[in-house]
Amino acid sequence: MRDGGADETDVLIIGAGLVGCASAHYLAQEHVECLVVDRGEMNREGSGTNAGSLHIQLRGPERLYSEEVLREFLPMKAEAARGWAQIETELGCDLGLKLHGGLLIAETDPEFAFVREIVEYERGLGLPAETLSTAELLRIAPHLSPRLKGAAYSAAEGSANTLLVGPAYARSAQRAGARFRTHANVVATERLNGGGFLVTTSGGPIRAKRILNAAGPWASALTRMVGVALPITGRVIQVSVTERREVLLDQLVGHISGGLTLKQTRFGTFMIGGGWPAKVDPATGRSVIDHDSVAGNLGVALRALPALRDVSVVRSWTGVIAHSLDRDGSRLQIFGELPGVPGYYVLAGGTLFTMGPLFARLAAELLTAGTTSFPVTCYHPDRFGTPA
């Protein structure tokens, strides 16, 4: 609808990545009118360039979360795993899903002691996991290095094709009535006296009763337009893929100390990542491959899976992921209504591939019912934000 030249919608979702597309899907299922805008193309930023790993076990930095955070976070991880297990049925299409379990490997005795500690903690909070000795590890993944001390194992982990998931949610949302507009950069947001917002975009003005900011690393620039600064930044990382080989690895492999995600896709290629940084070209501002960083990443992968020594890397690429730290220095999602800005919601930051579909579902619950099926107080913007 248009009023005085401005398009109108109930919920304006800013950002057509996984979270924005999935939120549109769940809102449209509840017959909520929504319009998704993106400054570029759908699923082109972090949602489409990450490695597609589904991390359910606690990573090292997550183990440093406070007890308050962990008691909300771990049950949500278990629920996220249940959601991924049925996502292809829900969306009615192949998403390249591979759920054959995940391993957090340890190379040293102190690392293996950390594995035992994490597994014990997870089991205490109801997240299924187990500790594997070297012999037990090699029985389920015989091509991994016998030098490894062992691993933590979760049957719920795996991977999905990042190029397929977001667009599948978008197609479902459109079938249910959601609208999408690409190449519509938000340049200003004005709060209206009677409630709602007038959003100026490069594709024309939009009047929205409510806003869901799902713009990832760029979310803070948008909240500043309504007077709130959020500590969301972008980290440029890189991922590599190899030539095809016979099946050597069924599981997702990570490292208990970080620096590795390794998986073999259904096509036989190996994807290697783990948060290793890329560079930003100061002349152009564009992200570029850091060859030393790629070499470091591949070195960790080779220590884990020696059979990679004669496998050629065919491509590496960069992507930007959102990074947000709460008042305690924990890297978490920011989710909820902005303090002092009724009707403006944020869902950005943190690790939003694994958790993205669940948070999108919770966003739809919050915008339709005013409550969520899981407690989400530790993600609220008032743990992060300050006046702009």
Spell 213-246 as b/e; 16+ CB within 10 A means b. Answer: bbbbbbbbebbebbebebebebebbbbbbbeebe
Residue 3 has pLDDT above 70, yes or no: no
In a domain, 68, yes or no: no
Identify the domain boundary among 304, 322, 340.
322
Confidence of residue 143 (pLDDT cuts 50, 70, 90): very high
pLDDT(383) > 90: no
pLDDT in tens, 302-353: 999 999 999 999 999 998 888 888 888 888 899 999 999 999 999 998 767 9
Lowest-confidence region among 159-163, 254-258, 349-353: 349-353
Q: Tell me which residue range forms the domain holding 173.
A: 2-48+163-231+327-387
Among 282, 305, 322, the domain-final residue is 322
Per-residue pLDDT, 331: 86
The two tokens of residue 56 are 């359910």
297, 322, 347 — which closes off a domain?
A: 322
- Residues 152, 240 within the same domain: yes
In this predicted structure, what is the pLDDT of residue 4?
Answer: 55
- Of residues 119 and 5, more confidently modeled: 119
Under DSSP, is residue 29 helix (H, G, I), strand (E, B) or coil? helix
Closest CA to 132 of 147, 151, 145, 117: 151
User: Of the given ranges (88-97, 134-143, 305-314, 345-354), which has the lowest mean pLDDT?
Assistant: 345-354
In a shared domain, residues 177 and 150: no
Write out the DSSP string of 337-365: EPTT-TTEEEEESS-TTTSHHHHHHHHHH
Domain count, the chain: 2
338/212 same-domain check: yes
Residue 378 is part of a domain; what is its CATH number? 3.50.50.60
Q: What is the DSSP string of 146-164?
A: TT--EEEEETT-EE--HHH
The answer on 301 and 242 residing in a single domain is yes
CATH number, domain of 270, equals 3.30.9.10
Averaged over 365-375, what is the pLDDT?
Answer: 96
